[in-house]
Amino acid sequence: MSIVPAATRALRLLRFLATRSGPVSAAAIAAGLGIPRSSVYQLLEAMAEEGFVVHLPEERRWGLGVAAFEIGSAYLRHDGMERLARPLLTRLTEATGATSHLGVLHGADTLYLLKEQPPHAPPLITGVGVRLPAHLTASGRAMLALLPRAQVRALYPAQAAFTDRTGRGPAAPAELRRVLAEEARQGWSLEDGQVTEGFVSVAAAALDHNGRPAAAISLTVPRARPVTPQALAGRVRDAAAELTRRLGGRPS
């Protein structure tokens, strides 16, 4: 086994463990990756010496080690996603004259990580660090639309889970399911006055290596501005696709 394939297999093994809900057996790893069990054991032993995996002898299973956690923490410290997305938002705002945002899901909220706005733009509530109900925001729904239905049900089990700002937007689980299904088919989400009266937003999701929503990019303009949501949607979908590529994501 040459050095490069061995490194590739080790990285695939780490990714495999990261997608499991808990420690797994060497046999399950071999089956999941399609490589011989003897090679799996060699990789696991080498990775355990470096702290990237840990063996649980009583369970005969393997899990992620502290070194894997350290790598993930370092990524967060370096603001990896924000660094990759910021140039995309800057170009979007320059090209459209709209305010652009990068948001992620935080439970049932949209958490805004980045904001780029043109000169003399009207003030918006969506600042960096602000959280808003995901079902009301274009960014939030762009991500919710690509989650498994069971996960959406867990976030919105009943009507009591829905908050309201302007009297618009989904207010019950069945209504939210209909909206998400429609937006998933068209590939982008639209919010019209559900967060702030008089403003329209469109958003599309960027995906991770499992094809799941990692973040969403959005554009917001005053409703009176002579531009169609469809025109902005094309721009925002292209930006989200580029962020997916930069993240090493897999298009759905």
pTM for this prediction: 0.72
- Is 251 part of a structural domain of the chain? no
Amino acid in position 176: L
Range of the domain at 98: 79-246
Q: What CATH code is carried by the domain that includes residue 169? A: 3.30.450.40
Residue 76: the pLDDT is: 55
| 61 & 116 share domain | no
- As to burial, measured by CB atoms within 10 angstroms (0-12 exposed, 13-18 middle, 19+ buried), residue 53 is buried
CB under 8 Å to 76, separation ≥6 — which residues?
Answer: none
Final residue belonging to a domain, choices 73, 93, 117 = 73
Per-residue pLDDT of the chain (252 residues; tens, 9 = 90+): 455 578 889 999 998 998 887 899 999 999 999 999 999 999 999 999 999 999 998 899 999 988 887 777 666 555 678 889 999 999 999 999 999 999 999 889 999 999 999 998 888 888 888 999 999 999 999 999 999 999 999 999 999 889 888 888 898 999 999 999 999 999 999 999 889 889 999 999 999 888 889 999 999 999 888 788 999 999 999 999 999 999 888 876
Residue 252: inside a domain:
no
- Residue by residue, DSSP assigns 53-77 as EEEETTTTEEEE-HHHHHHHHHHHH
Choosing from 73, 95, 118, the residue where a domain stops is: 73
**Do residues 53 and 64 touch, judged by C-beta distance below 8 A?**
yes
